[in-house]
Structure 1
Amino acid sequence: MKHPLESLMTAAGILLLALLSCLLLPAPSLGLTLAQSLMETFHFMDLSQLYTVLFCLWFLLLGAIEYAVIRFVWRRWFSLAER
């Protein structure tokens, strides 16, 4: 039986790992021409808006990947639950 708060713990784990990614992993940097073309495509007012959205998406993606890897490793090798 699944725990009733498992979906909440999943989201909290992803956000926590995204925070750790912010502190430990490098963020992507765009070239000036690519940044300007993305600004025109998504109608941003300045470069800081583009980088804010880019960093949020980047670190949430890394957090989700880290969460999936850690959860897989935990369930595969360390979980005490019967299969």
Structure 2
Amino acid sequence: MKHPLESLMTAGGILLLAFLSCLLLPAPSLGIELAQSLMTRFHLLDLNQLYTILFCLWFLLLGVIEYAAIRFVWKRWFSLERDS
């Protein structure tokens, strides 16, 4: 039987791992030409808006990847329950 708060724990785990990624992993940096083209494409006012959105998406993506990897390892090798 699944825990009723599993979806909440999943979202919380992803956010926690995203925050840890902020501390441990480098964020991508764009060239000036690419940054300016993205600013005009998405109608942003300055580079600060672009990099804020970029960093949020980057760290959430890393959090999802880390969560999926840790969950896979946990379910595969450390979980006491075995799916039939």
2:82, 2:60 → 1: CA distance?
A: 32
Residue identity in the other structure for 1:47: L
TM-score by length of 1: 0.99
Tell me which residue corresponds to 1:15.
15
CA deviations over 1:2-50 (Å, ceiling 9, x no partner):
1000000000000000000000000000000000000000000000000
TM-score (norm 2): 0.97
Partner of 1:34: 34
CA-CA distance at 1:82 after TM superposition? 2.5
Paired letter, 1:36 = Q
Superposition map of 1:1-83 within 5 A: 1-83=1-83
Runs of at least 5 residues in structure 2 that lack an aligned partner in the other structure: none
- CA–CA distance in structure 2, aligned partners of residues 74 and 2 of structure 1: 16
Aligned to 2:74, the other structure's residue is in SS state: helix
Give the CA RMSD over aligned residues: 0.5
How many residues are paired up? 83
Residues of 2 paired with 1:30 and 1:46: CA distance? 14
- Whole-angstrom distance in 2 between the partners of 1:82 and 1:70: 17
Tell me, in whole angstroms, the C-alpha distance in 2 between the residues paired with 1:52 and 1:43: 14
